[in-house]
Chain A
């Protein structure tokens, strides 16, 4: 049973550059979530998908951020014109949702973004 996979594990880039992260969920999971975690804080929700549909976006997700899940499998999170404040750990999670409720979310190891 492979878990949630995220790529890359680390990304260092200069302010103003664009970055893209990838998440591959657990294969039978229909929901995929993105969270952001800064030092000393708990993860904060960014957005989530059920299959291809993006069902909710946090107000934390400014217009520089975009997420896609084109075929209902893997997802990408893009940050355009990166800023110092974007430095954080970006976590992806997946779960299986059904009419009776939502099963537990399982997290990947995250992508640590550092903006120089």
Chain B
């Protein structure tokens, strides 16, 4: 099955700093989603981005499907950005999402 790898596994930032999270996947995908899991365990949809670039406030994402990777950019980080960021892909056969192991982000004041 499809393998999803995220890097880095952990990241500590000072408030106001920028960061880039990466997601590599091993095969062609129909869909790709980025999620933020907050300290209460809630999975929040950030982007639905099978290809191209999208922006939402301080966050943006780019997926290059032909090269099998996606990037999540966080600018001017805030303490509320802390949590785990997951990338998840839906393979060609459709249906289930396959998640990476996540990047745990900690933003210090």
List residues of chain A with CB under 8 Å of any chain B CB: 31, 33, 35, 41-45, 48, 55-56, 58, 89, 91, 93, 97, 101-107, 109-110, 112
Contact = CB atoms under 8 A, between A and B. Distances in A.
A47 to B, nearest CB: 9
Contacts of A33: 95-97
Contacts of B100: 42
Contacts of B102: 42
B97 A45 contact: yes
Given A110-B41, A112-B41, A43 B33 contact: no
B31 A101 contact: yes
Contacts of A48: 95-96
Nearest to A112: B41
B43 A45 contact: no
B51 interface: no
Q: B-side binding surface: helix, strand, loop or mixed?
A: strand
A42 B30 contact: no
Contacts of A41: 101
Contacts of B25: none
Interface in B81-109: 86, 88, 90, 94-102
B33 A104 contact: yes
Interface in B13-58: 30-31, 33, 35, 40-43, 45, 48
Contacts of A31: 95
A53 to B, nearest CB: 12
B41 A56 contact: no
Contacts of A91: 43
A78 B43 CA distance: 22
Contacts of A103: 48
